[in-house]
Amino acid sequence: MSARIPLVGKPIERIEDRKLLLGRGSFADDIHRDGMLHAAILRSSVGHGLIRHIDVSAARALEGVHAVFSAEEIGRPVPRIPVRLFPNDGMDPFRQPVIADGKVRFVGEPIAIVIADTPAIAEDALELIEVDIEVFPAVTSIAAAVAGPALLFESHGSNRIFGYEIRRDELADIFETAAYTRRERLYVHRHTGITMETRGVVAEWNAADGYMRCWGAVKVPFANRKILAGMLDLPEDKVEMIEGNAGGSFGVRGEFFPEDFLIPFAARKLGRPVKWIEDRREHLLAITHARDVECDIAIACDGDGHILGIRADMRMNIGAYFRTSTTIAPRNVGQFVPGPYRVPAYSADVAVIASNKSPSGTYRGPGRFEADFFRERMLDLAADDLGIDRVEFRRRNLLTEAELPKPFPAITPNPVVTELDSGAYEHVLDLCLAKANWADKQHLQGKLVDGRYHGLAVCCFVEGGAAGPRESARMVLEDDGTISLYVGSSAVGQGVETILTQIAADAMELPLDAIRVFHGSTTYVKEGWGSYHSRSTVMGGNAVLLAAAEIKSQMLAAGAGLLQCSGQEVSYENGRVIAQHGGSVGLKELAGKDIAFEATFHNSKHTYTYGSHVAHVAVDAETGHIEIVDYVAIEDAGRIINPLTLHGQAVGSIVQGLGGALLEHFVYDEDGQMLSGSLADYLVPLATDFPNIRTSSIELRPSPNHPLGAKGAGEGGTIPVGGLLANAVAAALRDFHVQPTELPLSPDRIWRLVQDAPAQSGA
CB of 246 to ligand FES, least distance (A): 9
Single-letter amino acid, residue 274: V
324 binds, among ligand FES, other proteins, none (CB under 5 to 8 A by kind): none
CB of 196 to other proteins, least distance (A): 4
Of 22 and 402, CB closest to ligand FES: 22
Phi-psi region of 238 (alpha: psi -120 to 50; beta: other; left: phi over 0): alpha
Taking the alpha carbons at both ends of the chain, their separation in whole angstroms is: 72
Secondary element (H or E) of residue 312: strand 307-319
Which residue in the set 79, 110, 200, 493 belongs to the binding site for ligand FES (CB under 6 A)?
493
Of 245 and 703, CB closest to other proteins: 245
Of 497 and 620, CB closest to other proteins: 497
536 binds, among ligand FES, other proteins, none (CB under 5 to 8 A by kind): none
CB of 248 to ligand FES, least distance (A): 5
Please give the Cα distance from 486 to 685 (Å, whole number).
36
Of 146 and 684, CB closest to other proteins: 684
Q: Tell me the helices (H) and strands (E) count for the chain, helix number first.
A: 20, 30
CB of 245 to ligand FES, least distance (A): 10
- By rule CB under 6 A, what count of residues binds ligand FES? 3
* String marking each residue 294-323 x if it binds ligand FES according to CB under 6 A: ------------------------------
Which residue in the set 196, 449, 549, 763 belongs to the binding site for ligand FES (CB under 6 A)?
196
CB of 316 to ligand FES, least distance (A): 28
245 binds, among other proteins, ligand FES, none (CB under 5 to 8 A by kind): other proteins
Radius of gyration of the chain (CA): 27
Of 564 and 678, CB closest to other proteins: 678
Please give the Cα distance from 37 to 120 (Å, whole number).
11
734 binds, among other proteins, ligand FES, none (CB under 5 to 8 A by kind): none
Cβ atoms of 133 and 50 closer than 8 Å: yes
Q: Is residue 297 packed enough to be buried (19+ CB in 10 Å), middle (13-18) or exposed (0-12)?
A: buried
24 binds, among other proteins, ligand FES, none (CB under 5 to 8 A by kind): other proteins
684 binds, among other proteins, ligand FES, none (CB under 5 to 8 A by kind): other proteins
> CA separation (Å) from 267 to 35, 69, 81, 93, 640?
11, 12, 19, 29, 44
Residues at the interface with other proteins (CB under 8 A)? 13-14, 16-18, 20-25, 27, 29-30, 32, 120, 193-198, 245-248, 250, 279-280, 492-495, 644-645, 647-649, 651-656, 678-680, 684-691, 693
29 binds, among ligand FES, other proteins, none (CB under 5 to 8 A by kind): other proteins
Edge-to-edge strand list for the sheet holding 570-573: 570-573, 576-579, 584-586
Instruction: List, in sequence order, every residue forming a beta bridge with 49; answer none if it has no partner.
Output: 104, 135
CB of 17 to other proteins, least distance (A): 4
Of 492 and 545, CB closest to other proteins: 492
Q: Is residue 533 packed enough to be buried (19+ CB in 10 Å), middle (13-18) or exposed (0-12)?
A: buried
516 binds, among other proteins, ligand FES, none (CB under 5 to 8 A by kind): none
319 binds, among ligand FES, other proteins, none (CB under 5 to 8 A by kind): none
- The torsion angles phi and psi of 732, rounded to 5 degrees, stand at -65, -40
Q: Under the criterion CB under 6 A, does residue 686 sit at the interface with ligand FES?
A: no
Half-sphere exposure of 248 (CA within 13 A, CB side): 17
Q: What share of the chain is helix, strand, coil (3-state, %, to 5)?
A: 30, 30, 40
194 binds, among other proteins, ligand FES, none (CB under 5 to 8 A by kind): other proteins
The residues, any chain, with a CB within 8 Å of residue 113's CB and separated by 6 or more, are 39, 40, 41, 42, 68, 69, 70, 99, 262, 266
Residues 59-98 that bind ligand FES (CB under 6 A): none
Hey, is 27 helix, strand or coil? Answer: coil
39 binds, among other proteins, ligand FES, none (CB under 5 to 8 A by kind): none
Please give the Cα distance from 175 to 181 (Å, whole number).
7
- Angle, alpha carbons 310-293-630 (nearest 5°): 80
Cβ atoms of 441 and 391 closer than 8 Å: no
629 binds, among other proteins, ligand FES, none (CB under 5 to 8 A by kind): none
CB of 518 to other proteins, least distance (A): 18
8 binds, among ligand FES, other proteins, none (CB under 5 to 8 A by kind): none
CB of 243 to other proteins, least distance (A): 12
Phi-psi region of 192 (alpha: psi -120 to 50; beta: other; left: phi over 0): beta
Please give the Cα distance from 310 to 168 (Å, whole number).
10
Of 493 and 657, CB closest to ligand FES: 493
50 binds, among ligand FES, other proteins, none (CB under 5 to 8 A by kind): none
697 binds, among ligand FES, other proteins, none (CB under 5 to 8 A by kind): none
CB of 18 to other proteins, least distance (A): 7
How large is the greatest C-alpha to C-alpha distance in the chain, in angstroms? 90
Single-letter amino acid, residue 574: N
The residues, any chain, with a CB within 8 Å of residue 18's CB and separated by 6 or more, are none
* String marking each residue 443-482 x if it binds ligand FES according to CB under 6 A: ----------------------------------------
Of 600 and 656, CB closest to ligand FES: 656
Single-letter amino acid, residue 25: G
> How does DSSP classify residue 42?
E
Of 198 and 542, CB closest to ligand FES: 198
CB of 197 to other proteins, least distance (A): 4
Q: Which residue is nearest to ligand FES (CB)?
A: 196
CB of 496 to ligand FES, least distance (A): 14
Write the DSSP assignment of 149-213 as a string of letters.
S--SSGGG-SSEEEEEEEEES--TTHHHH-SEEEEEEEEEEEE----SSPPEEEEEEETTTTEEE
CB of 656 to other proteins, least distance (A): 7
* String marking each residue 169-188 x if it binds ligand FES according to CB under 6 A: --------------------
Sign, CA torsion 733/739/743/748 = negative
Q: Is residue 366 packed enough to be buried (19+ CB in 10 Å), middle (13-18) or exposed (0-12)?
A: buried
The residues, any chain, with a CB within 8 Å of residue 646's CB and separated by 6 or more, are 637, 640, 697, 713, 714
CB of 62 to other proteins, least distance (A): 16
CB of 8 to ligand FES, least distance (A): 24
Cβ atoms of 255 and 220 closer than 8 Å: yes
CB of 650 to ligand FES, least distance (A): 15
Please give the Cα distance from 377 to 723 (Å, whole number).
6
Q: Under the criterion CB under 6 A, does residue 248 sit at the interface with ligand FES?
A: yes
470 binds, among ligand FES, other proteins, none (CB under 5 to 8 A by kind): none
675 binds, among ligand FES, other proteins, none (CB under 5 to 8 A by kind): none
Of 20 and 234, CB closest to ligand FES: 20
Of 248 and 465, CB closest to ligand FES: 248
CB of 242 to ligand FES, least distance (A): 20
Question: Under the rule (CB under 6 A), what is the footprint of ligand FES?
Answer: 196, 248, 493
